[in-house]
């Protein structure tokens, strides 16, 4: 039986795409075709899929919203596994929220607001899924996931489902235990606090206003392109190096916020990668500080 037939047998033909352009599934809106793009609709299907690709030693990558990812122009040789809406259940029990990894942060924050729960307002404008947010300890405007997570559920390579308490997740600046192991995040439990629904909405509106005012939301990007160097801000270092508006092909350092690399129009992954590398080199020459990409690079360039 072929790989395609096996994938269809596990997931259903409607959830298996061949030669799927990754530009349709990343917020940079670039990237060549993945050999297989699959969308498991249950944890059981995801576990069976993971067992198959591991046993057959097939390259695979777990994708959420593609909001922190640069896929090469020649695509990805292997199976791209999207943990998305089919694994996006959200359940509230008092001050606890139980959510699957495929749920969007925006929806999660909206559910919390509807239940008059405060603590997730910072996540309302982050264009990612809960799984990606746990993986990277996502944060914004002084909030981060480690402030609200109680535990995470994960599928280990051997097929065991583990419940991992927050103290063992090693949540740090844009990292977690999942950055170093091969577990697949299935979901998380978060504890919030009771608040006033109107005040929660007002704060979310204020954060949205600040994002619209300061960030180039009108262009495809991956958000903050580089990690924040200790004691510095990446955007300020880039601006001080004279790189505001610097471009390579269709990729550009945003004139609105130098911490963002944007797809100004018809950029390729190679354009974006070249721009990132040149920015890092120029900033290092100027300041002695080497910027580290926050964006993950995969596939063939």
The predicted-structure confidence for 51-97, as pLDDT tens digits, reads as follows 999 999 999 999 999 999 999 999 999 999 999 989 999 999 999 99
The predicted-structure confidence for 126-149, as pLDDT tens digits, reads as follows 999 999 999 999 999 999 999 999
Q: Which domain holds residue 53?
A: 3-82
Q: Report if residue 174 sits inside a domain.
A: yes
CB under 8 Å to 131, separation ≥6 — which residues?
A: 62, 64, 83, 101, 102, 185, 186, 187
Q: Report if residue 293 sits inside a domain.
A: yes
pLDDT cut 70: percent of the chain above it: 100
Q: Report if residue 204 sits inside a domain.
A: no
Output helix, strand, coil percentages for the chain, rounded to the nearest 5: 35, 30, 35
Count of structural domains, the chain = 3
Which structure tokens are listed for 73? 């122009």
Return mean pLDDT, the chain.
Answer: 97
Question: Above 90 in pLDDT, residue 180?
Answer: no
Pairing mode, strands 296-298 and 69-71: parallel
Shared domain check, 171 and 101:
yes
The predicted-structure confidence for 4-62, as pLDDT tens digits, reads as follows 999 999 999 999 999 999 999 999 999 999 999 999 999 999 999 999 999 999 999 99
Tell me the whole-structure pTM to 2 decimals. 0.94
Q: Report if residue 210 sits inside a domain.
A: no
Q: Report if residue 17 sits inside a domain.
A: yes
CA gap 292, 15 in Å, rounded? 35
Shared domain check, 162 and 73:
no
Query: Which active-site residues does the annotation give?
Result: 174, 224, 294
Residue where a domain terminates, one of 151, 166, 199 = 199
Shared domain check, 187 and 121:
yes
Shared domain check, 144 and 164:
yes
Shared domain check, 136 and 159:
yes
Residue where a domain terminates, one of 82, 101, 130 = 82
Which pLDDT score is estimated for 202? Answer: 98
Question: Above 90 in pLDDT, residue 253?
Answer: yes
**CATH number for 277:** 3.90.78.10
Shared domain check, 186 and 158:
yes
Residue where a domain terminates, one of 67, 82, 97 = 82
């Amino acid at each position: 039986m072929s790989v395609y037939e096996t994938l269809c047998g596990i997931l259903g033909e409607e959830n298996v795409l061949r030669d799927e352009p990754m530009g349709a599934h990343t917020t940079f809106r670039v990237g060549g075709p993945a050999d297989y793009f699959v969308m498991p609709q249950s944890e059981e299907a995801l576990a069976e899929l993971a067992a198959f690709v591991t046993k057959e030693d097939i390259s695979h990558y777990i994708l959420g919203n593609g909001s922190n990812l640069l896929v090469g122009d020649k695509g990805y040789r292997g199976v791209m596994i999207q943990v998305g809406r089919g694994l996006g259940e959200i359940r509230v029990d008092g001050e606890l929220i139980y959510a699957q990894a495929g749920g969007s942060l925006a929806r999660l924050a909206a559910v919390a607001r509807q239940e008059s729960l405060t603590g997730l307002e910072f996540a309302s404008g982050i264009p990612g899924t809960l799984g990606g947010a746990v993986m990277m300890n996502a944060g914004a405007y002084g909030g981060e996931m480690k402030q609200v997570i109680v535990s995470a559920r994960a599928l280990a390579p051997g097929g065991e489902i583990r419940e991992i308490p927050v103290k063992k997740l090693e949540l740090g600046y844009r990292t977690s235990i999942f950055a170093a192991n091969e577990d697949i995040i299935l979901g998380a439990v978060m504890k919030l606090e009771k608040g006033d629904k109107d005040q929660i909405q007002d704060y979310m509106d204020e954060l949205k206003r600040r994002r619209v005012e300061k960030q180039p939301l009108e262009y495809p990007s991956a958000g903050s392109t580089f990690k924040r160097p200790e004691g510095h801000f990446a955007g300020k270092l880039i601006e001080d190096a004279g790189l505001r508006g610097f471009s390579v092909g269709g990729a550009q350092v945003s004139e609105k916020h130098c911490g963002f690399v944007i797809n100004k129009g018809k950029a390729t992954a190679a354009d974006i990668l070249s721009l990132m590398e040149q920015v890092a080199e120029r900033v290092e020459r100027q300041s002695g500080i080497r910027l580290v990409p926050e964006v993950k690079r995969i596939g063939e360039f």
